[in-house]
Amino acid sequence: MQQRPYSDPDATWGHRSAVSTRAAGSFYGYKLHQVVCAITGLPLAWRVETAKDSESTFAMPLLDTVKARGFRPEVAIMDMGYDHEAIYADCEQRDCHPIIPLRQTPAVKAGKHLPPVCEHGEWTFAGAETKRRAAKWRCPSGECSPASRWIGASRLHTLIPRGRPAGRSSTGCAARSSGRTADSRTSGRCCPCGSGGSSGFGCTPT
């Protein structure tokens, strides 16, 4: 009898990020890409792909499916695997604010994601305008001229500012309390050979 290299020839090798119970690494199998409602935990859209495909490939098709099903996600919480400029722009284009942890890219190491600073201190967030796709930042003492300026939405400057305690951002708060928030999760599915597992924060470690 011929021995096959893997129990499932359709599966592929891929990479998964670390979760609390195990380190990042390679695995053979499939990934379940799904959008889950952050309030109810119920899946809103999903697809199973082999392990080699990156999470970000399926983020927007899934978000479009969620919208086509009549949901209006205002905020999408994603893990670091989705931290690509295109994801931010594509999300905003769909009237959905992305919340994604930053990878340590050169721009981040150079501090380009930090609030503007002047001689009066660090500028404060003064609200975002979704239509304008920009957020307003203000000199802490108001002595600068101009005392505030708009910064266009990007990976480095999101409309829901980073590093704020939960509930302090009015945009995020409204979306959460509306019950229409969705987060895009990637979780893994064990392949038949028993390897594989989960990727991203949406997994259920076993």
Answer whether 189's CB lies under 8 Å from 29's CB: yes
- CB atoms inside a 10 Å sphere around CB 135: 23
Closest by alpha carbon to 126, among 144, 102, 100, 151? 151
The CB-of-56 to Zn ion minimum distance in angstroms stands at: 37
Spatial separation of the C-alpha atoms in residues 96 and 181, rounded to whole Å? 9
The CB-of-144 to Zn ion minimum distance in angstroms stands at: 3
x-or-dash pattern for Zn ion, window 18-47, by CB under 5 A? Answer: ------------------------------
Does the protein bind Zn ion through residue 117 (CB under 5 A)?
no
Does the protein bind Zn ion through residue 80 (CB under 5 A)?
no
Closest by alpha carbon to 198, among 78, 52, 22? 22
Does the protein bind Zn ion through residue 89 (CB under 5 A)?
no
Residue in 66, 87, 139, 182 binding Zn ion, rule: CB under 5 A: 139
The CB-of-122 to Zn ion minimum distance in angstroms stands at: 10
Residue in 47, 103, 120, 164 binding Zn ion, rule: CB under 5 A: 120
CA distances from 136 to 79, 142, 193 (A): 26, 13, 52
Q: Which is nearer to Zn ion, 43 or 116 (CB)?
A: 116
The CB-of-92 to Zn ion minimum distance in angstroms stands at: 28
For the record, the structure tokens of 85 come out as 């400029």
The residue count for binding Zn ion (CB under 5 A) is 4
